Amino acid sequence: MTSVRYRVAEVDGLNVFYREAGNPGQPKLLLLHGFPTAGHMFRNLIPLLADRFHLVAPDLPGFGQSDMPPRAKFSYTFENIAGVIERFTEVVDFERFAAYVFDYGAPTGFRLAVRHPERITAIISQNGNAYEEGLSEGWKPIRAYWEDPSPANREALRVFLSPETTHWQYTQGAADSALVSPDGQNLDNYYLARPGADEIQLDLLGDYKSNVALYPAFQNYFRTHRPPLLAVWGKNDPFFLPPGAEAFKRDIPGAVVRFVDAGHFALETHASEIADSIRDFLK
């Protein structure tokens, strides 16, 4: 039951790679990864939950083992990515599910929730932001590109795609960086180095402004539908700050907020603690 299976789903002409574990008769949990990683970020979490949940972790289009169509054939926006993942949930028979959202997975998952609130049973947000106060100063160069999408401002964002930055994202804020495996970050760097991947990622950094523009819509969904929500947060995240986690309580008074002594990639060091929080929250 806890074995992980590696599958590919055909979604409107795109191959979406995904990890699956657990019994299909169990409560369903959709795991949505962020930048610059893929579904392999859940490699430690899935076995800890597969005895009680049916889990699926897709690689978003352009990430991991999923198709990376050229930009001329697929416009890399969060709206389009959310559309693919929405169809993916239908293809794999995820009619009602809880969603674990992280980083880029948050605006993807929140879009699904706004479109189909009846399908969402709960939300676990692990450093998945929906509030302006959750955005750190680290977003300044990205915001500059939103305001002026000049070639120079786009070029300045390439630093976010470097192996050094990937390593920094994984280790910054970790209480003990020696506990952070190099495996995930090295795999991420492999995917980032593929021909054309850089321009795709720059497109998405530019389009992230569409997510910020939708924060009021996401917040309205939270207030209106009050989904059970657990915010479990690496408190030392250099990009998404603890006030972004606390802000969920403003719209969902019953939201549960828990912090772990970790950075952005909290699952690298705190998978067991996060799994325990999820099991307690969703029991």
Residues known to be catalytic: 264
Considering only the C-alpha atoms of the chain, give the largest distance between any 2 of them, rounded to a whole number of Å: 52
Q: How far is CA 257 from the centre of its chain?
A: 18
Measured in residues, the chain has a length of 283
What phi and psi values does residue 130 have, to the nearest 5 degrees? -145, 20
Which residues touch 63 (CB under 8 Å, ≥6 apart)?
A: 33, 36, 37, 38, 191
Which residues touch 138 (CB under 8 Å, ≥6 apart)?
A: 238, 239
What phi and psi values does residue 69 have, to the nearest 5 degrees? -65, 150
Going from the C-alpha of 120 to that of each of 86, 261, 272, the distances in angstroms are: 12, 29, 24
Q: Tokens 């929405």 appear where?
A: 86
Give kind and range of the element (H or E) at residue 15: strand 14-21
Cα(283)–Cα(279) distance, rounded to whole angstroms?
Answer: 6
Amino acid at 98: A
Tokens representing 122 are 């709960």
How is residue 222 annotated by DSSP?
H
Tokens representing 193 are 């180095």
